Amino acid sequence: MIDPRIDRTTGVIVQGITGRAGRMHTRLMREYGTHIVAGVSPKAGGDVDGIPVFANCKEAVAATKAAASVLLVGAEQLLSAIEDAVHAGIRLIVTPTEGMPVHDALRARRLTQEAGATWIGASTPGMAVAGEAKLGFLPEAALIPGPLGIMSKSGTLSYESGFRLAQRGVGTSIWIGVGGDTVKGTRFAELVPFYAADVKSEALLIIGEIGGSEEEEFAAALTAHRFAKPVFALIAGRSSPEGVTMGHAGALVHGSRGGYAAKKAALEQARATVFGSLDDMTNGIVAWHAARATR
């Protein structure tokens, strides 16, 4: 089973730590509580804000026993950076980078699966266990601890959703941005067993979008696993034109495939509540949260 759980003690590497984004996000992740123990960069030796910088993950793991890695490298280097992490035995790999070539993603998925590592991304703001640690960019204003698990293809739409819920007092357990690419490391359906078992997650919100078949697969997995917790869903792109990619590579609809109606029907068949707007979603989840508190 995929297990993306992290906490304040999980040792984390930042690959690409000496770059502009690497330095900034290392600082922001540490401020949130992430235990960053090492950096990796071709400019090895020395440190970034006191964090030692190694030439590769193998050396970083040998020196620090890191178990997770956040990869802040360019799309062209992403596959080889993932290979570096996998070969060093890293079990959780988070890759925010946008624009990974899809055939590279295919190879990275095969590689991480064969090695038994969990790969989150690419094109993701990352993931977080609220109140513990975050791997990536999720905004602190949206991250208060609570009972709602969140999975999302879109970064910004999940920020908006998480922020509205946080403002109304609904916090999150574990929040995973699976990313907007067609071929990715971890898909919605693959996280169903984890959320079913995770006692801190009392309900699940998935934020999907048109294109691909992840929402349909997720719906099938809910039924197959007899997922008993409430499931809420928001799907972006119901008014998007066919044949045009709307920003995310994965959000491309051909004919009836990948369309909004099919996704909504599949989710409702699996007893998920599909909301038509952000406001309805917020109100619906707040109502669930309030009812739960009075039980």
The nearest distance, CB 41 to other proteins, in angstroms, is 21
Tokens of 17: 């730590």
Task: Confirm whether 35 is a catalytic residue.
Answer: no
Contact status: 223 vs other proteins (CB under 8 A):
no
Residues in region 69-128 near other proteins by CB under 8 A = 75-76, 99-104, 106-107, 109-110, 113, 125
The nearest distance, CB 20 to other proteins, in angstroms, is 10
The nearest distance, CB 237 to other proteins, in angstroms, is 4
Whether omega before 133 lies within 30 degrees of 0, making that bond cis, reads no
Long-range pairs, 259-267, Cβ under 8 A, ≥24: 259/210, 260/210, 260/235, 262/216, 263/208, 263/210, 263/215, 263/216, 263/235, 264/235, 266/215, 266/216, 266/219, 266/220, 267/215, 267/218, 267/219, 267/231, 267/233, 267/235
Q: In the chain, count of helices (H) and strands (E)?
A: 9, 14
Contact status: 130 vs other proteins (CB under 8 A):
no
**Of residues 25, 248, 254, 289, which has the active-site annotation?**
248
Provide the H-helix boundaries in the chain: 20-32, 57-64, 78-87, 102-115, 155-167, 192-197, 214-224, 260-269, 278-294
Cβ closer to other proteins: 52 or 163? 163
Give the integer Cα–Cα distance in Å for 44 and 284: 50
Provide the H-helix boundaries in 246-277: 260-269
Contact status: 31 vs other proteins (CB under 8 A):
no
Contact status: 46 vs other proteins (CB under 8 A):
no
Contact status: 132 vs other proteins (CB under 8 A):
no
- Interface with other proteins (CB under 8 A), residue from 249, 270, 272, 285: 249
The nearest distance, CB 1 to other proteins, in angstroms, is 16
Contact string 170-199 vs other proteins (x = CB under 8 A): ----------x-xxx--x------------
Tokens of 216: 């349909």
β partners of residue 93: 69, 119
Contact status: 34 vs other proteins (CB under 8 A):
no
Residues that bind other proteins (CB under 8 A): 24, 28, 75-76, 99-104, 106-107, 109-110, 113, 125, 137-139, 141, 152-160, 163, 180, 182-184, 187, 207, 209-210, 212, 217, 234, 236-249, 251-252, 254-256, 276-279
Catalogue the active-site residues.
248
